[in-house]
C-alpha cells in the first residue's frame, strides 16, 4: 500500500494492530508500527489505545499497558469500559491484583461503574493465582452491588475449585448456577469434562460430552483440546492420536492452542521426541509461538529432565521478546529437579526468595512440588510456610506434595496433620493422595493398612491407577505374602489396567527374596509372552539373588539360557549380566 504511494489511514492501522493483538506479535513490532504511524502524521485514537492495551495481554506486559493508558489520558481521550476491562485483563494476566483493584476504584470515580465483565476479569485473575477465597468474596461483592453472576462467573469458579481439588465445592457452584436459571454454556461443559477426566472418571466425562451435544452444542476447539489434555495426562497416547483424528475429521484445522495441547499430551505420555516434532510442525506452519506455546514445550522438556534444552528455550524467548512468566520458571524448576540438578534448582529458588524473580504464589507452590520430588524436606517445609504466610489457598497438588514427602520420611503424624488440613479446607483426596499414603504404609510394612486404603479409593469413586496396585503388591511381596500379591495382580488386570515392567519386577524381586527362583523365571517367561519387555533390573534381581544364595552355577546357566527365554535379548545385554556375575565370582 505504502509502496504504491497510498498513505494508510487510522482505520488501516487500527485493523493491523487488532490482528497483531490476536496473533501475539512481539511488542517490539507493535511499537515499531505505532512509531511509523506517528511519523506519517496519523495520530492514535481511542480505539488505537484500547487495542494497544489488548496487545499487552498475552505477554502480561502490565508496565507497557500502564504507559499506554497514561499516554491515552494525556492525549485527551477519556478511558471507556473497553479500556478499563482491557487493562484489567492485562493486570489479571500479570497477577497484579492491587493494581487491578485500583482500576475498579478509578472506574467508580469517573462514573464508569464496573460490570459483570469487569468482575469476571478480576475473579479470573484471583482464581489463576490460587486466591479462591478472594475470588468467592468478589462474587459476593458483585451480588451486593446488584450485579448478577453470569455463566462466565460460575464457570471460572468451577474451574478454579476443580484445580484446587475442591470437587464438592465446584459441584455446589454448578448446582447454584443451574438453580438460579443460569444455563451452562460450552465453556461450562468443557470445565466439567476436564474435572471428571483428570481424575480418570471417564464414564462421567463422556456423559458430560453427550449432555453437551444433547443441549445443542457442537464440540469446539477447546472441547477437543480438553480431551487431548485429559488423555495425555492419563498417559493414553493412542486415545490422544484418536481424538486428534476425530478433531480433524470434524473440520478443525490445528491452531496454536491445539499444538500446545498436543505437545503437552504427548510429553505426558513420555513421547518427548514426538512432542518436539509437533512444536517443529507448528513453527513450519507459520504460527507464532507465544508464552503458552513456550510453556508447553518447557513443560515437555521438564518431564524428560532436559534442562539444557530448557535453558536454550529461555534464551530463545528473550530473543523473540517473549517474557517468561511464572509457569516458564516453574517448568525450569521441574526440569532441574527431574535431572537431579539440585545446584541449579537452589540458585533459581534463591532468585525467587530474594525477589530477583517475582515470587508469584504459583512459583512458591512449585518450590514445594520440586523439593518434595527430590526429597528435600527442609526446603519443602520452608516453601510451605511461605505459602501459608501469604494466606494463599492451598490446593490439592501442594498438599499432596507434603503428604508425599512426609510419607517418604515415614512421618505419620505430620501426614495426619496435612490430611486434617485437607478436610478443613474441603479438599477431596485424589488418587495421588491415596498413593502417597499407601507408599508410606508399604514402607512401614503395614500391608493391611495399604489394602484398606486401596478399598477406600474404590469406594470414594476415584479410580485406582497402576501405581496404586503396584504399591500394595509391593507391600505384600516384601512380606513374602505372594498369594495376596497374586490376588491383587489378578484384580488389577480385571480392572482394565495392564501390568507394567514395575509390576513384574516387584514379583520377580519378591520371588527371589524368598528363594523361589523357578517361579521368578516362569514369571519372566509369562512377561515376555504378554509383550512386556524385561529390563536390566529384572535380570539383575535374579542373577544377584542366585549369587547371594551361593548358587553361582545356577546363575551362569540362567544367563547362558537367556536368549532362549527372551528371544531378541542382545549379546551386549547378556555380556553385561556376565560382568555382574564375574564380580561375585571374584569375591
pLDDT, mean of residues 200-214: 88
DSSP per residue, 119-166: HHHHHHHHHHTT-HHHHHHHHHHHHHTTPPP-HHHHHHHHHHHHHTT-
Is it the case that residue 260 has pLDDT exceeding 90? Answer: no
- Using alpha carbons, select from 506, 459, 502 the residue that is nearest to residue 482: 506
Is it the case that residue 572 has pLDDT exceeding 70? Answer: yes
pLDDT, mean of residues 4-23: 83
Reported as a single tens digit per residue, the pLDDT across 276-302 is 888 888 888 777 778 888 888 898 889
Which contacts of 488-493 are long-range, i.e. CB under 8 A and separated by 24 or more positions?
Answer: 488/451, 488/454, 492/466
pLDDT, mean of residues 433-443: 94
* Least confident stretch, 315-319, 403-407, 556-560: 315-319
Give the pLDDT score at 97: 84
* Least confident stretch, 45-54, 101-110, 235-244, 461-470: 235-244
Which grid cell is 419? 490430611
Rounded Cα gap, residues 150 and 7, in angstroms: 45
How would residue 521 be classed by pLDDT, with cut points 50, 70 and 90? very high
Spatial CB neighbours of 524, under 8 Å, sequence gap ≥ 6: 504, 508, 534, 538, 539, 542, 565, 566
How would residue 167 be classed by pLDDT, with cut points 50, 70 and 90? confident
Whether this prediction's pTM lies above 0.75 is answered by no
pLDDT, mean of residues 430-435: 90
Give the pLDDT score at 2: 52
Give the pLDDT score at 587: 63
Give the DSSP H or E segment for 337.
Answer: helix 326-338
**Residue % of the chain over a pLDDT of 70:** 98
Is it the case that residue 3 has pLDDT exceeding 70? Answer: no
- Using alpha carbons, select from 159, 150, 166 the residue that is nearest to residue 124: 159
Locus of grid cell 470445565:
191
Burial category of 342 from C-beta neighbours within 10 Å (exposed 0-12, middle 13-18, buried 19 and up): middle
CA distances from residue 162 to 112, 127, 502 in whole angstroms, order as listed: 33, 11, 31
Reported as a single tens digit per residue, the pLDDT across 49-88 is 999 999 998 778 899 999 999 999 999 999 998 999 899 8
User: Which of 1.10.238, 3.30.70, 3.90.1140, 1.25.40 would CATH assign to domain 504-587?
Assistant: 1.25.40
- 3-state helix/strand/coil string of 60-82: CCHHHHHHHHHHHHHCCCCCCHH
Question: Would you say 196 and 204 are in contact if contact means Cβ atoms under 8 Å apart?
Answer: yes
Same fold, 1-114 and 504-587: yes
Fold of 1-114: 1.25.40
How would residue 6 be classed by pLDDT, with cut points 50, 70 and 90? low
* Least confident stretch, 148-157, 364-373, 453-462: 453-462
Give the pLDDT score at 360: 83
Give the pLDDT score at 447: 93
Locus of grid cell 520377580:
508
Highest mean pLDDT among 112-116, 322-326, 467-471: 467-471
Domain ranges in the chain are 1-114, 504-587
Is it the case that residue 501 has pLDDT exceeding 70? Answer: yes
Rounded Cα gap, residues 291 and 254, in angstroms: 18
Spatial CB neighbours of 448, under 8 Å, sequence gap ≥ 6: none
Helix, strand and coil content of the chain, in percent to the nearest 5, comes to 75, 0, 25
Rounded Cα gap, residues 218 and 221, in angstroms: 10
Is it the case that residue 243 has pLDDT exceeding 60? Answer: yes
Give the pLDDT score at 26: 85
Question: Would you say 415 and 429 are in contact if contact means Cβ atoms under 8 Å apart?
Answer: no
**Mean pLDDT, the chain, whole residue set:** 88
Is it the case that residue 35 has pLDDT exceeding 60? Answer: yes
Amino acid at each position: 500500500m505504502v509502496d504504491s504511494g497510498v498513505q494508510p489511514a487510522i482505520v488501516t492501522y487500527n485493523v493491523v494492530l487488532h490482528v497483531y493483538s490476536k496473533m501475539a506479535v512481539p511488542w517490539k513490532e507493535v511499537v515499531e508500527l505505532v512509531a511509523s504511524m506517528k511519523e506519517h502524521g496519523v495520530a492514535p485514537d481511542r480505539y488505537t489505545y484500547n487495542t494497544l492495551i489488548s496487545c499487552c495481554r498475552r505477554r502480561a506486559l502490565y508496565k507497557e499497558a500502564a504507559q499506554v493508558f497514561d499516554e491515552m489520558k494525556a492525549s485527551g481521550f477519556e478511558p471507556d469500559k473497553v479500556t478499563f476491562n482491557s487493562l484489567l485483563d492485562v493486570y489479571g494476566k500479570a497477577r497484579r491484583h492491587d493494581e487491578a483493584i485500583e482500576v475498579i476504584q478509578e472506574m467508580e470515580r469517573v462514573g464508569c461503574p464496573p460490570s459483570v465483565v469487569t468482575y469476571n476479569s478480576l475473579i479470573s485473575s484471583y482464581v489463576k493465582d490460587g486466591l479462591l477465597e478472594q475470588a468467592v468474596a468478589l462474587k459476593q461483592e458483585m451480588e451486593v452491588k446488584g450485579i448478577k453472576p453470569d455463566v462466565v462467573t460460575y464457570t471460572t469458579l468451577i474451574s478454579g475449585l476443580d484445580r484446587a481439588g475442591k470437587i464438592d465445592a465446584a459441584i455446589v457452584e454448578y448446582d447454584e448456577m443451574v438453580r438460579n436459571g443460569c444455563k451452562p454454556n460450552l465453556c461450562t461443559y468443557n470445565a466439567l469434562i476436564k474435572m471428571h477426566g483428570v481424575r480418570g472418571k471417564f464414564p462421567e466425562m463422556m456423559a458430560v460430552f453427550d449432555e453437551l451435544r444433547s443441549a445443542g452444542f457442537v464440540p469446539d476447539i477447546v472441547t477437543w483440546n480438553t480431551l487431548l489434555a485429559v488423555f495425555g495426562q492419563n498417559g493414553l497416547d493412542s486415545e490422544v492420536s484418536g481424538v486428534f483424528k476425530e478433531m480433524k475429521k470434524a473440520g478443525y484445522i490445528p491452531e496454536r492452542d491445539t499444538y500446545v495441547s498436543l505437545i503437552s499430551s504427548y510429553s505426558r505420555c513420555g513421547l518427548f521426541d514426538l512432542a518436539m516434532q509437533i512444536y517443529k510442525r507448528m513453527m513450519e506452519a507459520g504460527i507464532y509461538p507465544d508464552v503458552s506455546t513456550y510453556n508447553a514445550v518447557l513443560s515437555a522438556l521438564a518431564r524428560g529432565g532436559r534442562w539444557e534444552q530448557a535453558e536454550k528455550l529461555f534464551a530463545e524467548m528473550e530473543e523473540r521478546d517473549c517474557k517468561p512468566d511464572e509457569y516458564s520458571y516453574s517448568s525450569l524448576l521441574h526440569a532441574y529437579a527431574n535431572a537431579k540438578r539440585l545446584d541449579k534448582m537452589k540458585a533459581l529458588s534463591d532468585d525467587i526468595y530474594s525477589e530477583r524473580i517475582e515470587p508469584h504464589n504459583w512459583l512458591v507452590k512449585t518450590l514445594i512440588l520440586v523439593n518434595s520430588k527430590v526429597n528435600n524436606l527442609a526446603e519443602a517445609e520452608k516453601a510451605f510456610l511461605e505459602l501459608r504466610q501469604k494466606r494463599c489457598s492451598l490446593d490439592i497438588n501442594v498438599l499432596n506434595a507434603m503428604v508425599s514427602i512426609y510419607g517418604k520420611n515415614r512421618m505419620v503424624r505430620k501426614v495426619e496433620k496435612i490430611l486434617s488440613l485437607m478436610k478443613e479446607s474441603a479438599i477431596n483426596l485424589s488418587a495421588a493422595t491415596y498413593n502417597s499414603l499407601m507408599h508410606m504404609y508399604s514402607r512401614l510394612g503395614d500391608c493391611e493398612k495399604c489394602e484398606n486404603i486401596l478399598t477406600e479409593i474404590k469406594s470414594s469413586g476415584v479410580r485406582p491407577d497402576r501405581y496404586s496396585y503396584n504399591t500394595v503388591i509391593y507391600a505384600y511381596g516384601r512380606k513374602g505374602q505372594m498369594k495376596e500379591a497374586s490376588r491383587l495382580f489378578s484384580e488389577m488386570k480385571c480392572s482394565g489396567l495392564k501390568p507394567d515392567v514395575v509390576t513384574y519386577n516387584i514379583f520377580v524381586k519378591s520371588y527371589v527374596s524368598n528363594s523361589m527362583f523357578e517361579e521368578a523365571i516362569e514369571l519372566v517367561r509369562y512377561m515376555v509372552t504378554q509383550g512386556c519387555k524385561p529390563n536390566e533390573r529384572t535380570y539383575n534381581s535374579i542373577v544377584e539373588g542366585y549369587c547371594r544364595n551361593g548358587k553361582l552355577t545356577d546363575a551362569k546357566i540362567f544367563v547362558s539360557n537367556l536368549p532362549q527365554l527372551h528371544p531378541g535379548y542382545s549379546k551386549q545385554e547378556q555380556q553385561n549380566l556376565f560382568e555382574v556375575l564375574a564380580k561375585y565370582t571374584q569375591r
